[in-house]
Each structure stands twice: as structure tokens, then as C-alpha cells.
Amino acid sequence: MSISEKKQTWQKNTVDRNIAKAPERQKEFLTTSDIELERCFTPGFDYPGYEEQLGFPGEYPFARGVQPTMYRGRFWTMRQYAGFGTAKESNERYKYLLSAGQTGLSVAFDLPTQMGYDSDAAMSLGEVGKVGVAIDSLADMEILFDGIPLDKVSTSMTINSTAAILLCMYIAVAEKQGVSADKISGTIQNDILKEYMARGTYIYPPKESMRIITDIFAYCKDQVPKWNTISISGYHIREAGSSAVQEVAFTLADGIAYVDAAIKAGLDVDEFAPRLAFFFNAHNNLLEEVAKFRAARRMWAKIMKERFKAKDPKSQMLRFHTQTAGCTLTAQQPDNNIMRVTLQALAAVLGGTQSLHTNSRDEALALPTEESVRIALRTQQVIAYESGVADSVDPLAGSFLVESLTDQIEKAAFDYIEKIDKLGGAVEAISRGFQQKEIQDSAYAYQRAIETNELLIVGVNKFTIEEPAPTNLLKIKEAVEIAQKKSLGALKANRDQAKVQQSLQSLEAAAKGSDNLMPHILDAVKAYATLGEIADVFREVFGKHRETVVL
């Protein structure tokens, strides 16, 4: 069958689906000169390797997108990451974002919540509510989502070591709203391996952490089927200083480790793989980033089909969220960050992201103000509604430059994965410090290039100006920590203590045994056991991870 015949067949099969899923996007897609854009552009001739390397959108190997209609069907989810101070303050910000046109929520938790400490713990002093919202118990989670219908809004939670606890709190809040677990949708990051190599918010040793993750996979498969049980993150790997190739390679290597662990735990690959999701960074080099996203999709399709023998096409799809690069934002001339974020967001859209967070201009200085958040959201909306890049599926496909970059990134990333396999896989390679050393070397080279002016950063080492100190920054006051500790103390004084202790004892027994941990965590959460109390049970049974310094 020729390319043109295949194209006709593909278009016929996708038209009905497009109309059924997104009637609001049924229109003529015209340029300003009244030139109609085709649904999907393909080469005008047959050439060897086209079908294997490109194919059509929504078809293996998914280089051109996981959906046949992509943004002709509907736009990506505009999911702005937000959370600070108390649950009440964050709830107000979420409602503001939803009223401004955001289409999904993304929760940022403070450092104590990420590390499994209550706000009244000694380790939490000075950190409560600073880099995200403080969540100590189900009571806080109820406030966080007060007035937000969880059967109508999908929620992403950037949480790893304590992901199981926060997911159980979310399930419990939904139940209190009358929404059953099988109706809620969203994502937990739940990617502990990148914490060991790039970010550091780990608690337990790798083996025990992997057990918790596979228990989440197994539980959600039956009880929370619309939930994405992991968001395998390259974002933080790139923020730590990796190259684009390393970001893809180390992220997919982590994905391989999670799939391996789930299969060894007795799960069939096609039972859990369709709910795997990924999280990538959108950096400054627009065309390299587009190629990176295309390469990652194609690589994961090949890995799942050839390495793990996944038969369900959904198991072979790499679906991903993107966040623009926080590490590229500058404190100098912060308004320049608006342009950086615009280019990065455009790269994510041209690369076929499923959801997107755009950073705010003032994030190199403080938590973003409402005005800055609105500009960041409007950036996505202008790209969606005004730029025209969403009017054709995969608009850059066939570019000699993009296709060449895609091929080169794929080859280099697979070379890294081969090295990691020879070291015994991602977990063993991390324990030897392989990925950490590669990231550190890349970060050093990048910073050195800036300091020697080989790499120019506008407003930092080129086109600098004298500027006044910034004003109107959002700062979290000490009163937040005082109020959070006070409400936590009231909760502990007024709950059913016997019920709390019983649930924690049951959880301890499950941790020492082989039961799935999720039902026991859910029982403890519903009894208003705190996040710190639940995490302490695991600390006692599993121990705490100590990083090995590899020289």
C-alpha cells in the first residue's frame, strides 16, 4: 500500500473519532491567508524506513503523537503547578486558576510533606508551607479540595516518598464528596528512582520504596482504574543539570526498572502499563526539545513492544506532562523569563505533550504572584488559540533537521540505556553513582560555558542593566507555621485515639508481612492518623536510606 493510500485509510478511521470526542474543534483549519491545513502532513513519496520511523499519529511507534487527532481533537491539559502555605490558601489559588481557564490541577507540597514529617516535627521547623502546601492529615486534604468536584477535575500531585499516603487521602476526600475511587482521575509522580539520582526527597531504601510503588500499581489497577499510578520524571534530572539525551535515557531506564519490578511482583505488563505516564522538562533549545519528545515516544514504544512484549497499544504509548525549565529562569531582568517560557511551552506543544505547566516570571525570586501565574497561563492559551500550531497534527514532521535530531537523540539515549543494562539496571547503576556522575559532569560543563561566555544568557552575561530590587514578591510568613501547628494539635486532641492506634498497628503488621499496603494506609488516613505517623511506621519497619558517596 502506498503512502497516499495509507494516509486515506488513516484519515477515514480517525475522522469519526475526532468528531465524537471534540465537537467544539470541528471547523475549517485555515491560515490567515485562507489556506486550509490538512489534518496530517506526510511525505509525497514512498521512502525506505518511513513506516518504521514515522508512521501516522496515534499508531506505532508513536513518534508523531499518541493520539491520531492530537490537538485537532482537543488541546493539551493546561495544568498549572500550585501550592503554598495552608490548605485554605492553596484552595483559593486553585479556584482562581480554574476560573481563569485552567483545565486541571497540579499540587505542590511543602518539604515536610514530601519527606514524611508533620508540621510540628523538629525537622519541619522553618519549612512549613514554604515551597508548597502543608498537608498533615485528611483534614487538611478536605480543606485543600473544598468546593472542587473531584469527579470533574483531574489532579496531578508532585509527590514521591509519601505518594501512597497522599493518594489515599485524595481517595478518602473523594468518597466524602460522594465520588467513588473508580471515578477519580489524575496522577501521582511516585518516581522514587530519580530522587536517589537527582532530587533527594527519598525516605526509605530502594527495595522497600519499590515495594510501595508496585503495591500502588496493583491496588489502582482494580480500585482506581483512571489514575496514572506513576509519572516517571525526567524533569528533575534535567533541572539537576543533565543534557537532553541524558534526560531521555535516564528517565526511560527508570521506566524499565519500574516495569521489571511490577512484572516480578506478579503483574501482567498490559494490566498496569497503560497507566504509566512520564514527566519531561522543556528547555531552551526549541528544535532539540521537539526532537527529544519525539525520540522518547518512539523509544518507549520499541522498549515496551520488543523488550516487554506488551501487546496493548496503550502499553506502548508514552504519555507525558511537561513543565518549562525552572533552571533557565533568571533573577536578573525577570520579565525576560516570559519569553523563555513561551519558547519552551511552544516546544512542548510542537513535541506533542498531553499536559503542560508554564513557569511564572518571578519564580527565580519567590513563589509566583497571582499576576505572574495569570501571565503564565495566558501564555498557554495564546499558543492554543492564536498561534495556529495546534491546527495540524505534528506540524514539524518531515523536517530534515527535526528528523535527524530525533534519530541522533534516540541512538545516543539507547547507548546510555545499554550501559545501564550492563551495570545491572537503573537501581544498581544508581547505587554505583553512574547517573549521578554523568549529571554532575553535564551540569558542570553547562555552568562553565556560562561563566566563560561560551553560552550567552540574556540579562546575565550579555545585555545586562542596572535594575532596582524587585518588589511585590509573594512570601510565606511565620504565622502560617504557627497556625498549621495549632490546627494539627487540635486534630490530635480530638480524634479517636484508639482507632488511630489500631490502624497504625495493622499497617505495621502489613509492612512486616506481604499484604498490599494501600488498604491499610487508607484505613489509617480515614482514622485521621497523620502523614508523619504513617511515614514513621515505614521508617521503623523499612529503615531510612543513606546516600553512598561515590568518588
Alpha carbons within 13 A on the beta-carbon side of 377? 24
| Paired strand residues for 241 | none
Task: Print pLDDT tens along the chain (551 aa).
Answer: 666 777 677 666 666 555 555 555 556 666 665 767 666 666 654 445 556 677 888 999 999 999 998 998 899 999 888 888 999 999 999 999 899 888 889 999 999 999 999 999 999 999 999 999 999 999 999 999 999 999 999 999 999 999 999 999 999 999 999 999 999 999 999 999 999 999 999 999 999 999 999 999 999 999 999 999 999 999 999 999 999 999 999 999 999 999 999 999 999 999 999 999 999 999 999 999 999 999 999 999 999 999 999 999 999 999 999 999 999 999 999 999 999 999 999 999 999 999 999 999 999 999 899 899 999 999 999 999 999 999 988 999 888 888 889 999 999 999 999 999 999 999 999 999 999 999 999 999 999 999 999 999 999 999 999 998 888 888 888 999 999 999 999 999 999 999 999 999 999 999 999 999 999 999 999 999 999 999 999 999 999 998 765 54
pLDDT value, residue 39: 67
Which amino acid appears at position 206 of this protein? P
Asked if the structure places residue 180 within a domain, the reply is yes
Place of cell 497503560: 274
Which one-letter DSSP state was computed for residue 549?
A: P
Q: Which grid coordinates are listed for 245? A: 539525551
* Domain assignment present for 228: yes
**CA–CA separation, 440 and 138 (whole Å):** 39
* Residue span of the structural domain in which 405 resides: 70-451
Is residue 257 domain-resident?
yes
439 domain-assigned: yes
Q: CA 507 to CA 8: how far, in whole Å? A: 57
CB 334 within 8 A of CB 301: no
Please tell me the predicted confidence (pLDDT) of residue 472. Answer: 82
Report if residue 136 sits inside a domain.
Answer: yes
Let me know if residue 519 belongs to a domain.
no
The Cβ of residue 430 has, within 10 Å, a number of other Cβ atoms equal to: 27
CA 105, 376, 348 angle in degrees (round to 5)?
A: 80
d(CA 135, CA 532) in angstroms, rounded, equals 10
How many domains would you assign to the chain? 1
210 burial via Cβ count (<10 Å: 0-12, 13-18, 19+): buried
Q: Nearest 5°: phi and psi at 85?
A: 60, -135
Tell me if residue 175 falls in helix, strand or coil: helix
Report the SS3 class of residue 26: coil
Amino acid at site 181: A
Asked, for residue 437, whether it belongs to a domain, the answer is yes
pTM of the model: 0.89
Nearest to 130 by CA among 91, 80, 85: 85
Q: What is the CATH number for 371?
A: 3.20.20.240
- pLDDT value at residue 45: 43
* Contact yes or no for 353/293 (Cβ under 8 A): yes
Between CA 503 and CA 529 the distance in angstroms is 8
**CA distances (Å), 163 to each of 230, 304, 458, 496, in order?**
9, 25, 38, 25
514/491 Cα distance (integer angstroms)? 31
pLDDT on residue 27: 60
415 domain residue, yes or no:
yes
